[in-house]
Structure 1
Amino acid sequence: MVLPQLYRTWHWRQDHLELFDLSTALQKNNTDFYAWLGVEPTATTAEISKAHRQLVLKLHPETSAEPAEKFEITNKVAYMLRTPQLRSVYNDILQQGHLPFFKGVFYYYTRYKLVCMGILICVAVTLLDYLKAWEKYFTEKITIEQFILNAKSMAQKMSAKHASAKTHKSFIDLGDRTLNCEITEAKEIFILNEKNERVPLTVAHILPMPSIWDTLLMRIPKKYMFP
């Protein structure tokens, strides 16, 4: 259901967006396009044109005391009902009982430009931060993989004095942090996590993969909403 709706919004023109605005305005007055012209929803184009001509004569600003806005609305309503594509969209609105949930990016951008610009900037900053996190991850991953190979190689070359012990405790200096580790009698290396649990010395246990929730703009609401 979502993809077909997005596909439809891609083809909507300015006329469609004006239709949504006009439909919303008339709904507030508990009326619709057909009731405004005084025709049935099944009216033909000829019947709509006839009703339009009769109504504009009554509402023309030069001969009527009615607000000029009513004259403009009448012209717009008639135009939309005489245009097959617009009438089809409007009939769908009447059938569903509400406007489309998503009216297209252009609709929201033209009406809430500052809000949309703010959202786009936030998305761009978040994606940039996320990409930088992945770049840092792959750079550190190469370093840590080499470090693990060296650590395992050194464990295999442990002196007989150290090897005589069932478990040898040491530490691994990663530059920005130090990990406590244990080297077993079988020359296997384990690190101690924050819960003091023994886990194998692997990249996954040392370097977590980047998450979109760890980007700057995501950390701010996360900090205050989920302390």
Structure 2
Amino acid sequence: MKSDYRHMLKHTVQRGSGKSETGNTLLGKKKFESGPSPNPVTQNFQYDTKKIGSRNVVIVDGPGIFFDREFSEGKVKEELAKATALLAPGPNVFLLAVDLNRFDKSEIKAVDMCKKAFGDGMMKYLIVVFTRRDELDRNGKTIQDYVEEFNNYQKKFLASCNRRYFSINNVATDVEVKESQANDLLAMVLELEKQNERKFYQNEEFISVQKEIEDRIQEMLKISLNSLLMKIYLF
């Protein structure tokens, strides 16, 4: 459907990045399992939808396949195949959830692994979402103050996605505050989608999977039509 578009939420190298909580904030409900745990809370791909005007937003919450050492190479490939199929014909936006206390070289290295899988072009579709904004608020700082303190490699990374970033407080208890944050982030998402001319992000894998899906649909339609014709002409 042309009215549908998808966001893929990425994990961070450390557990507890606030990825699933960010998805819940966007949805306005607790759909994705989250919370403190010694093991990854998100084990499989999950998704849910939210209606925005006439648009159906599909938010996909994936396991940290690039960010957790417990994932073997085979498991990474398996989860990548699931992601590609689930996101076909391609996502409109990638959201990278980052705990603002843990934005280091290991985090950026993990993103480089994502780029190898999805292609460098994904950076044109990426927004960095810094979680735990409540800590900045408590210290009387803004996200702009935080970004100004970045070292060179952090600045270089942010420049690679054209300095698209957002800060969010997923533990806010005020409903209006949470709704306002969700609306502001979605506004940024819509603006990025507009800049990319509402095109899905695609690489060879997405194109291949989309063709396979379309071929299967055509085959199913052919079988359905043949069955219908048989019913019409049986007498």
For Structure 1 versus Structure 2, the TM-score category normalised by the shorter chain is 0.3 to 0.5
Q: Write 1 or 2 for the structure with the bigger share of strand.
A: 2
Q: TM-score, normalised by structure 1?
A: 0.32
Q: TM-score, normalised by structure 2?
A: 0.31
Q: Write 1 or 2 for the structure with the bigger share of helix.
A: 1
Larger RCO (CA within 8 A; separation ≥ 6): 2
